[in-house]
Amino acid sequence: MCVCAGFSGPGVFASGTSSAAGGLAATSTLSAELASAFAPNPEVVRLPLAQLAGALPPGPTLRLYAITDQPGLYVLHAPSLAAQGAMFSRVVALIERRDMPHDRVVSMSAVAANARRFGEDPAGLTAGNNFSAAQIAQFFEVAQRQHANLTEGERALQTLLVQWGLIRQEAGAGGEGGMTWRAASSRDFLVTIPGLGKGPAGEMIDAEVRAAILSHELGHWRYFSDPAYAHACRAFWWHQLTYTEREALTEELAGMGYDPSDRIVIDELQAYLLHTPARYMPLADLPGAGGVDIARVKRGLELSVRNAGQNAGQ
C-alpha cells in the first residue's frame, strides 16, 4: 500500500530540519507521548465511520478506532506527527519507499538520509500512513530475522498491535521452534493520522489538515477493500492512459519519494485524485508533448470508477 509521503498544501508541509537546541526537549516529549502505548489493555473505540471525524481527540492522544461498519478497518490517532514518524518511519522505508531495500530493515540514519533527498523532515517523514496488518507483521518479522533492534516508537507500535489483536507471534514453519510474526487477519487494515499541533519542522497540523489526511488514507482503504473499485482504477491506468501519461505520472510520484512500482503508483494516484481535497493535492500538470493534464486524468478515473459501480449494481 502507500503513504502520504508527498502530502502538501499552502503553508502545511514545508520541508526543514528540527533545531538541535530543541532535541532533548523533543525526545522527552516523544517518550511521554508514546508511554501510553505500554499501558495494559489500551482502549479501542468502536464506532461507525460517519462518527469518526467528530470523535477524534483535540490533544496529543494515542487512540485506536475500530470502524464497525467497515469490517477490518482500524484508525490509529497518533499523539503527534513526530510520534507517528517514530512508530512508522522504517515500516514506510521497508514497504514502499523509493531507493530503499524492501528485504531488510535499514538504520534510522539511512531513513533520514533518504527523506532529506526528497525535501522531507526525517522526524515526521509522512503525513499519514496506511498498511495492511500483514505488511506491518512483515516489518517485525524481517527485523526479527536480521536481529535489528527496534526503536522506542517501533516497540510501542508492536505492543499496541499485539494488545489490540492485529498481529501476533506464531510457531514458525518447519517445526523448528522459532516464532514468526503474522497478521491475525489478512483483511485487517490500519490507517494512521497525526494529532493536532506543530510538527518537527514547524509544519502545522490543524483540524482541516488532519481531515484531509484522513480522507486520503481512507481512499487507500477503499482500494484495499473494494475489489471492483481497485479493478476499475487498474483498468483505467493500463487501458485509458497512454504510455507517455503513465510514465509522466510515475516520475512525478517517484519524485515525491514513492517507489515507482505500478502497485504503489496506481494506489497513490487514485487516493490523490479522488480522495484528497484540491488544496492539498500535490500532483500538477506537466505541459508539453510528454506531459499530462491532471484534470483530464481525474475526470477519466472518476468515469471509470462510476461505470464500474453502475455495472456492479446491474
- Using 50, 70 and 90 to split pLDDT, how confident is the model at 124? low
Task: Read off the pLDDT of residues 294-308 as tens digits, 9 standing for 90 and up.
Answer: 999 999 999 999 998
Q: Is the pTM of this model over 0.85?
A: yes
Task: Read off the pLDDT of residues 65-119 as tens digits, 9 standing for 90 and up.
Answer: 999 999 999 999 999 999 999 999 999 999 988 888 999 999 999 998 888 887 7
Statement: residue 177 has pLDDT above 70:
no
Instruction: Answer whether 26's CB lies under 8 Å from 282's CB.
Output: no
**How far apart are alpha carbons 170 and 120 in whole angstroms?**
37
Average pLDDT of the residues in 256-264:
92
Q: What is the pLDDT of residue 125?
A: 67
Residue 134 Rama label (left phi>0; alpha psi -120 to 50; beta): alpha
In the chain, pLDDT over 70 holds for what percent of residues?
A: 87
Domains of the chain, by residue range, sit at 20-206, 226-312
Secondary structure of the chain in HEC code, one letter for each residue = CCCCCCCCCCCCCCCCCCCHHHHHHHHHHHHHHHHHHHCCCCCEEEECHHHHHHHCCCCCCCEEEEECCCCCEEEEECCCHHHHHHHHHHHHHHHHECCCCCCCCCCHHHHHHHHHHCCCCCCCCCCCEEEEHHHHHHHHHHHHHCCCCCCHHHHHHHHHHHHCCCEEEEECHHHCCCEEEEECCCCCEEEEECCCEECCCCCEECHHHHHHHHHHHHHHHHHHHCHHHHHHHHHHHHHHCCHHHHHHHHHHHHCCCECCCHHHHHHHHHHHHHHCCHHHCCCCCECCCCCECHHHHHHHHHHHHHHHHHHHCC
154 or 24: which carries more pLDDT confidence?
A: 154
**How far apart are alpha carbons 197 and 207 in whole angstroms?**
9
